Structure 1
Amino acid sequence: MLKPDYIDPVAFEIGPLSVHWYGIIMASAIFLGLIIALKESKRRNLNPDTFLDLIIIAIPISIVGARTYYVIFQWDYYSQNIQDIIAVWEGGLAIHGALIGATLTAIIFTKIKGIKFWKIVDIAAPSLILGQAIGRWGNFINQEAYGYKTDLPWGMYINGAYRHPTFLYESIWDLSVFIFLMWLKKRDNIKNGEVFLTYIMTYSLGRFFIERLRTDSLMLGSLRVAQVISILLIIGAGSLIYWRRNKA
């Protein structure tokens, strides 16, 4: 079994400023995803500057959406610790909240710019899932998003016990989805929007099964929120692909 040494969440300090590994990893994920998206913009004859304009707006809104989503489902804690709501460097960014924020931003942006919504989200989809694959290692640094105790040989020693490294499971799944989307986007029979909708379905499928192993799931009564949302997204995205193909 793996028993890594504890990693200090603070990478380095500049005077009174502490730079956290979580922030460095997230920034790296955004940067790498942006490079891939800009190259894809050129391939699909979209001005990279237009996509960059969207990203500049979408990133902060996505972070706010991810944090807001998380805080809403952990309100019992944050209502008593208001000062912790802005402490995003400690973790607590929900991908579903980020997707809601990014999607709404893309809808409004494409309406204003007169660009096809489905085209721009297809460009973004591989970058999004790659960013998620990298970003999960921020959870490892913060010792969060882990699973129940296990005696499996790849269990990681976290919080006093060997546990399922669910952040690793999801990182591997997300990387696999990224590779699949990079292949899919070059197929001749793929219609606008189907790369993005396939991203939604494949990510949600992996998240549904991995979520059941986690100990820190956001809950809605007795239901794991991420599993409920994943099922809805799989059904919704699959139905939309079917409807759009039949309509065409």
Structure 2
Amino acid sequence: MKNELFHLGLLTIHAYGLMIAIGVLIAYKVVVYRAEKRKMELSPIYGLIIWGLFGGFVGAKLLYWITQIEAIVEQPKMLLDLSSGFVVYGGMIGGIAAGWLYCKKQRIHFLRHLDLFVPSIALAQGFGRIGCFLAGCCYGEETDHWLGITYHESHFAPHDVKLVPTQLFSSVFNFMLFFILLALARRKRADGFIAGMYLLIYSVGRFIIEFFRGDVIRGSVGALSTSQAIAIPVFLCTCIILIWQVRQFRGSLVKH
């Protein structure tokens, strides 16, 4: 596996960027298709995509910088590298925050649109993790298992040692999450329920997969990785909000 796939003149096509682009394109198509099926207005969908992508990029980069603050103090030039170094949870927080601001500005229902988007977010993440696998970032710990994969040209993963393919585990998990969310969305739910299930299931899956990661650059909080430390409050807060939402939704059905 290597990140540089081929060259088009002076342009180099990287596996990570290509998979991100494919994931975003397919996720966009799914969002538009589901919006049309629900007879939702499309103009705010396009705006939400742009705001969400920008907010996600900024959030993912900011959280990465926070986890690498000591290294940045020693090497400030790291701040100029905008093509690598992202934290998924930062992207989720930034994207959701940007979406909330856009919905507030346009006076449209935030949770209803968030429910529309989250299955596609999981789908895009699935493709993104394939990009990670090809590039060698977000790699797993060393292993002797037959499932282990070996890198020889990666700029991120150690070479000539078998590593747990955590990127592929994450990819399969995210694709499964995409289909689970689609199945849940077939029935009428309380606004925000699908988004809550996304956060709930993702935080559990991410917490488990993190135990097999080998890239210490992602940072840590005590014995936990940064992502595991974030996953715990996300899981607990989401549980509380979901319980409240479901009770409110059932109460409204009884009144009607």
Structure 2 CA distance for aligned equivalents of residues 28 and 87 of structure 1: 23
CA distance in 2, matches of 1:86, 1:142: 20
Runs of 4+ in structure 1 off by over 6 angstroms are none
Q: Distance in 2 between matches of 1:211 and 1:98?
A: 17
Would you say 1:182 and 2:182 are equivalent positions? yes
Once the two structures are TM-superposed, the CA of residue 10 in structure 1 deviates from its matched residue by 2.3
Identity %, equivalent residues: 26
Aligned with 1:12: secondary structure?
A: strand
Helix, strand or coil at the partner of 1:18:
strand
TM-score with structure 1 setting the length: 0.90
Q: AA paired with 2:89?
A: H
Post-superposition Cα deviations, 1:215-234, rounded to whole Å, max 9, x if no partner, equal: 22421244311111111111
Corresponding residue for 1:34? 28
The CA distance in 2 between the partners of 1:128 and 1:172, in whole Å, is 14
Counting only pairs closer than 5 Å after superposition, residues 117-196 of structure 1 correspond to structure 2 as 117-158=110-151, 159=158, 160-188=160-188, 190-196=189-195
CA contact (8 A) 1:73 1:220 kept: no
- Equivalent pairs counted in the alignment come to 240
SS in structure 2 opposite 1:66?
helix
Q: Is 2:19–2:127's contact at 8 Å kept on the other side of the alignment?
A: yes
Return the offset for 1:143: 1.1
After TM superposition, give the deviation of residue 16 of structure 1 in Å: 4.1
Q: In 2 relative to 1, CA 206–238 (structure 1 residues): closer, same or farther, beyond 3 Å?
A: same
SS at match of 2:6: strand
Task: Give the match for residue 51 of structure 2.
Answer: 57
Deviation for aligned residue 1:88: 4.0
C-alpha deviation, 1:45, in angstroms: 2.5
Unaligned runs of 5+ in 2: 152-157, 252-256
SS in 2 for 1:102: helix
Partner of 1:97: 90
Given that 2:118 and 2:195 are in contact with CA atoms closer than 8 Å, whether structure 1 keeps it comes out as yes
Corresponding residue number in structure 1 for 2:226: 225
Q: Higher mean Cα deviation, 204-213 or 37-46?
A: 37-46
Structure 1, unmatched stretches of 5+, are 1-5
Please say which of residues 143-152 and 192-201 is displaced more in the overlay: 143-152
| Contact 2:54-2:95 at 8 Å conserved across structures | no
Change (3 A) 1:14 1:85: farther
Q: Distance in 2 between matches of 1:74 and 1:192?
A: 36
Deviation at 1:77, TM superposition (A): 2.0
Give the structure 1 partner of residue 254 of structure 2.
none
Three-state SS of the structure 2 residue aligned to 1:79 is helix
Please give the alpha-carbon distance, in whole angstroms, between the structure 2 residues aligned to 1:141 and 1:109: 34
Against the structure 1 CA distance between its residues 167 and 131, is the aligned structure 2 distance closer, same or farther, given a 3 Å change threshold? same
Aligned to 2:198: 199
CA deviation after TM superposition for structure 1 residue 14, in Å: 4.4
Take 2:208 and 2:246, find their aligned partners in 1: how far apart are those partners? 28
Query: Which amino acid counterpart does residue 151 of structure 1 have in structure 2?
Result: D
Matches of 2:15 and 2:125, distance apart in 1: 15
Measured at CA, do residues 70 and 144 of structure 1 come closer, stay the same or move farther in structure 2, by a change above 3 Å? Answer: same
Aligned residue for 2:190, secondary structure, equals coil
2:155 match: none
Using the alignment, how far apart are the partners of 1:83 and 1:141 within structure 2? 26
